């Protein structure tokens, strides 16, 4: 993974955390409110000193998703269209789609 600092609870080398530690839980998200990287909304809630804010629809070209396996950065638009990293083909957890509203408008 890249040298990007990912904040959270018990974050491993592929961005898994205390809350999401499965083999496909390998992304981190840059939060719109602070531009810091976290593995999940629960880590942001536990560690940040402010409330989370979602990326607006017009920010879809922002690189706000990090592949924890290879360190590739994905735009929000690209991430929303794929089920695996376009750079290294690491699979992403399909269950994350249930949480998109927490990150993206």
pLDDT tens digits, 34-90: 999 999 999 999 999 999 999 999 999 999 999 999 999 999 999 999 999 999 999
Q: Give the pLDDT of residue 99.
A: 92
Tell me: pLDDT of 2 over 90.
no
Q: Give the pLDDT of residue 3.
A: 76
How many CA atoms lie within 13 Å of 38's alpha carbon, on the beta-carbon side?
23
Q: Taking residues 10-24, report their average pLDDT.
A: 96
| pTM of this structure | 0.94
**DSSP characters for the chain?**
--S--B-SSS--TTS--SS--STT--EEEE-TTT--EESSHHHHHHH-SS---PBPGGGTTSEEEEETTT--EEEHHHHHH-SB-TTT-PBPPGGGGGGHHHHB-
């Amino acid at each position: 993974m890249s040298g990007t600092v990912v904040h959270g609870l018990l974050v491993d080398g592929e961005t898994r955390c205390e809350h999401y530690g499965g083999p496909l839980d390998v992304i981190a998200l840059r939060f719109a409110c602070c531009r810091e990287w976290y593995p999940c909304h629960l880590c942001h809630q536990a560690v940040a000193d402010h409330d989370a804010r979602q990326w607006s629809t017009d920010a879809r070209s922002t690189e706000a998703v990090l592949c924890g396996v290879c360190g590739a950065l994905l735009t929000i638009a690209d991430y929303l269209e794929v089920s695996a990293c376009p750079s290294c083909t690491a699979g992403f957890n399909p269950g994350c789609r249930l949480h998109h509203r927490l990150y993206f408008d």
